[in-house]
Amino acid sequence: MAYLARGTKEDLLILAEELGLTVKKEFKVKQLHKLITESSSYDEEFTRELLGSIKEERKKKEEREIEREKQERD
- Tell me: the pLDDT tens digits for 31-57? 999 999 999 989 999 999 999 999 999
- How many separate domains does the chain show? 1
Q: Within the chain, where are the H helices?
A: 9-18, 29-37, 44-73
Distance of alpha carbon 16 from alpha carbon 2, whole angstroms? 16
pLDDT band at 4 (very low <50, low <70, confident <90, very high): confident
Q: Which domain holds residue 68?
A: 4-72
Q: How many residues does the chain have?
A: 74
Give the per-residue pLDDT at 11: 96
Distance of alpha carbon 41 from alpha carbon 20, whole angstroms? 9
